[in-house]
Structure 1
Amino acid sequence: MTAALRTIITPTAITRLVLGWGAFIALQFMGSLLAPPVPMTLLVTALVVIIAVILICAFGVVTEAEHLANRLGNPYGSLVLTISICLIEVILIAAVLLGHGDHATIARDSVMAVSMIILGAVIGLCLLVGGLRHGAMEHNRTGVSNYLVMIVVFAALAFAVPALIGTPDGAYEIWQEIPIIVITVGAYVFFLYRQMGSQAREFTEVAPPADVAAASAGASSTAGTTHPSPAEAADPEPRAQTSESDPQGIVEILSTHRTEIIARLVLLVATVLPIVLLSHDMATLLDDGLARLGAPVALSGVVIAMIVFLPETLTSLRAAWNGEIQRVSNLCHGAQVSTVGLTIPTVLVIGMLTDQQIVLAESPINLALLAITLLVSVIGFAGKRVTAVQGAAHLIIFVVFGLAIFA
């Protein structure tokens, strides 16, 4: 094994693979023990172990995606991260949807939970942490505005429109699903085309964080001495700058670092596969456990959302700690656009192929909380800078959403 491959296939990466594939093999031998009815102690133990392994593998997927992101630069790097998260979410939702029982609302519950976690909890925490450490942070208003416009449109198509033109249960009719899928995917592809093309500059940092600027100023007064930014200090690999002015930069990177990129993609796929294979057992046990506890049906969607976005949450918080508020937006708002723009159409296609009804229309309280969250986002990010106070407002709305689940 070459030195370059040893830096990619690390002991940690091997451990994740062993845990993921080992858990899957172990479940094959335990099939009879986990057949319903499963004793409550065994059910809880198995569910905790499976969720823990899925989380470990999810962190591995995000780790490899982060390395690819650092190599490719923004906005391509953030896109790799958001697509990886979206893939994991679709896998988990499909596992529940295709399992035993009636799960017509699982896509709605999961995507709504992800939306509130991203726009409420994660954005709120990032603004609070970044604002307290760096003060008011300047973001690229045009880029954030593009994200928020797409989020508002996709959220309306997913959660509000079905209640107005769909079935009494809040699902689209078959003849309505096809145009909704086409226009949603089409709008998302067009957004990506613009984001990675002529509008790429609008999704980059406006200015370096305050402490990075101070470090640069100090460096300029010290002959022959350079000081890395906090982001560079935490990141051993230099982040490519492909989106500023060189549209061919990504091609050069793919050519120069082809071996590394291919190896990381293979490792990413090998780490995703255990999530796919374990998700069915997780869905079955989760459904059984929540039913015995008499928990709200929407709680299964919250569990999926927490599994999906926990690794991305830590990445976003690191970016906020370093004062990279535009990277926070690219990660969080980009993930939200991908979640609604890709997950909903994918689930609708699965429903059409399996002849299952997909209920999307949300309850009035959840629609109101999502609308308030979007309004706060639009107002807050319309300013030149964002602050910790705005982060606190986002967190308040998320707490109310948590209370509404059990109402």
Structure 2
Amino acid sequence: MATLIHELSGQTWFIVFMAIALFGGVLGAVHHAEVIAHKTGEPYGTLVLAMCITIIEVSLIISLMLTGHDGAEVIARDAVFATIMIVINGVIGLCIFIGGLKHYEMNFRNEGSISALAVLTALATFILIMPIVTVSAPEDKFTRSQLTFVGITCFALYMAFLAFQTVSHRDYYLPKAVDKKTDINFHAQKPSNQKTAISVVLLMLSLVVVVAMAELLSPAIEAGVAAVGAPKTIVGIAIALLVLLPEGYAAVRAARANRLQSSLNLALGSALASVGLSIPAIAAIAIIFHLPLTLGISELNMTLMCLTFFIGALTLVIGRTTRLQGAIHLIIFFEYLFLSLVP
């Protein structure tokens, strides 16, 4: 009995240490991402954190697939769906609600945000719904040729969006106006090239720490899920939450500073990068190594996703938000979490 208590105590301290390291990695990632964003300006700055996290997230998913992790064939599906629900309902909802409490009403460029949501809707439909309605493969899977085509089209669509966002219509993703009295970035001097280069390196290291801690914590999460008898999809949700911590924290900070445009750029950009880059890479690995890959979601999750995109479109089409819209998204997010536990 004493030995068991000692082992449990040791595991508890290990989990606490991992959680502290994870939080430190999140704070470090957000700080260095903000340095880079201040140097490059919008929307390039918000793309940095999204790209880095996506690369490391893909590495994490692929490593789990290659090692034959239990339920490896649905990890990509659960991670992508969880990312969409967390970003649109959780992160954006929290940003709008907290920003609304402090600033009453916030404005943003609806041209860019609604375009990003349209691309995300198409990507999510290609990846998560098409496997259910196609008839060439059994159940909720793609054939080899279908998976190849979907991977190529998702990558092409994301590249098209990236060109739209950063080249042809960059002004759609810039704030409408800058309040020189309240925006500290207006008065702050831009960091030097040396400081920016150091922040790039430290950002990558911080993100590695975040994902490494998330991977180390995943066995404890799996054990907890198994202990309470919850569905295994909760593991994917928990890992997605941990990986999205840096972006979520940075987005909420921007909203509190009345920079909702930056929050939306960061949140939607992270979801687009996660879907548009991760699925092509994972599809390629699955084809090369002949790994099973399940992408189709259930009817319940399909309903939640359709509701999310519909409400998201209503929120972003106006160009201004209040805390009511944030509350709606948060309630949908809590509904998603509850139905994931009790499907």
What is the number of equivalent residue pairs in this alignment? 335
Shift of 1:69: 1.1
Aligned residue number for residue 197 of structure 2: 262
> Which moves more between the two structures, 338-347 or 366-375?
338-347
Alignment of structure 1 residues 275-294 onto 2, 5 Å = 281-294=216-229
Aligned residue number for residue 65 of structure 2: 97
Query: Is structure 2 residue 48 aligned with structure 1 residue 80?
Result: yes
Shift of 1:310: 1.6
Q: Secondary structure at the match of 1:344?
A: helix
CA 1:189/1:300 → structure 2, altered by over 3 Å: closer, same or farther? same
CA 1:283/1:353 → structure 2, altered by over 3 Å: closer, same or farther? farther
Aligned residue number for residue 158 of structure 1: 127
CA 1:169/1:316 → structure 2, altered by over 3 Å: closer, same or farther? same
Aligned residue number for residue 206 of structure 1: 176
CA distance in 2, matches of 1:87, 1:101: 22
Any stretches of 5+ residues in structure 2 without a counterpart?
1-6
Query: Is structure 2 residue 159 aligned with structure 1 residue 189?
Result: yes
1:197-229 deviation per Cα after TM superposition (whole angstroms, max 9, x unaligned): 121011001123xxx3xxx5xxxxxxxxxxx42
Aligned residue number for residue 239 of structure 2: 304
Of 317, 334, 338, the residue aligned with 1:399 is 334
Aligned residue number for residue 141 of structure 1: 110
CA 1:178/1:259 → structure 2, altered by over 3 Å: closer, same or farther? same
Shift of 1:107: 1.4
CA 1:48/1:101 → structure 2, altered by over 3 Å: closer, same or farther? farther
1:258-292 deviation per Cα after TM superposition (whole angstroms, max 9, x unaligned): 32332222223333444565665444554455334
CA distance in 2, matches of 1:142, 1:187: 18
CA 1:48/1:348 → structure 2, altered by over 3 Å: closer, same or farther? farther
TM-score, normalised to structure 1, is 0.75
Which amino acid in 1 is paired with 2:52?
Answer: S
Which amino acid in 2 is paired with 1:368?
Answer: T
> Which moves more between the two structures, 56-65 or 371-380?
56-65
Which amino acid in 1 is paired with 2:95?
Answer: C
Of 30, 52, 55, the residue aligned with 1:62 is 30
Q: Secondary structure at the match of 2:206?
A: helix
Equivalent pair of 1:95/1:279 in contact (CA under 8 Å): no
1:215-267 deviation per Cα after TM superposition (whole angstroms, max 9, x unaligned): x5xxxxxxxxxxx424439x95549xxxxxxxxxxxxxxxxx43233222222
TM-score, normalised to structure 2, is 0.88
RMSD: 2.5
**Matched-pair identity in %:** 28
- Structure with higher Rg: it is 1
CA distance in 1, matches of 2:244, 2:102: 24
Aligned residue number for residue 339 of structure 1: 274
Shift of 1:397: 0.7
Q: Secondary structure at the match of 1:159?
A: helix
Q: Secondary structure at the match of 2:167?
A: coil
Aligned residue number for residue 297 of structure 2: 362
CA distance in 1, matches of 2:198, 2:101: 39
Q: Secondary structure at the match of 1:105?
A: helix
CA distance in 1, matches of 2:28, 2:126: 33
Shift of 1:56: 2.7
Alignment of structure 1 residues 32-71 onto 2, 5 Å = 42-43=10-11, 45-71=13-39
Higher helix share: 2
CA distance in 2, matches of 1:107, 1:48: 27
Aligned residue number for residue 286 of structure 2: 351
Aligned residue number for residue 182 of structure 2: 229
Any stretches of 5+ residues in structure 1 without a counterpart?
1-38, 217-227, 240-256
Shift of 1:117: 1.2
CA 1:105/1:207 → structure 2, altered by over 3 Å: closer, same or farther? same
Aligned residue number for residue 17 of structure 1: none
Shift of 1:143: 0.6
1:90-137 deviation per Cα after TM superposition (whole angstroms, max 9, x unaligned): 233234333432321111112211211111111111111222222232
Shift of 1:343: 1.8
Equivalent pair of 1:105/1:359 in contact (CA under 8 Å): yes
Aligned residue number for residue 322 of structure 1: 257
Equivalent pair of 1:138/1:385 in contact (CA under 8 Å): yes
